[in-house]
Amino acid sequence: MNEFINNILNSNNVKVAGMYKGMKFAGLVTDIRAKYGKDIQVTVEDALHSTYLIDGFTLYKGGDNLYENLEVQNV
């Protein structure tokens, strides 16, 4: 997981796609912040300027109870 988080931190353009509460979304990471412990939180903004706050561990797992089928791509 550390390598996964480091790849997100060290990339300029990261795209995240998946499902949020059953609806598809895709957008770019616009902000990253450290959380307590070893986790991060990323802010993803889509083309309609909707924002999604996603924990690094949730991205790594591919989802949780709000997010499903998360995919991370370096663009």
Mean pLDDT, the chain, whole residue set = 93
| Structural domain harbouring 43 | 2-74
Domain total for the chain?
1
Between CA 56 and CA 8 the distance in angstroms is 9
Between CA 6 and CA 21 the distance in angstroms is 27
* 62 or 9: which leads in pLDDT: 62
Residue 75 has pLDDT above 70, yes or no: no
How much of the chain, in percent, has pLDDT values that exceed 70?
A: 99
DSSP labels for 5-23?
Answer: HHHHHT-S-EEEEEEETTE
pLDDT in tens, 18-39: 999 999 999 999 999 999 888 9
Looking at residues 39-61, what average pLDDT do you find?
Answer: 95
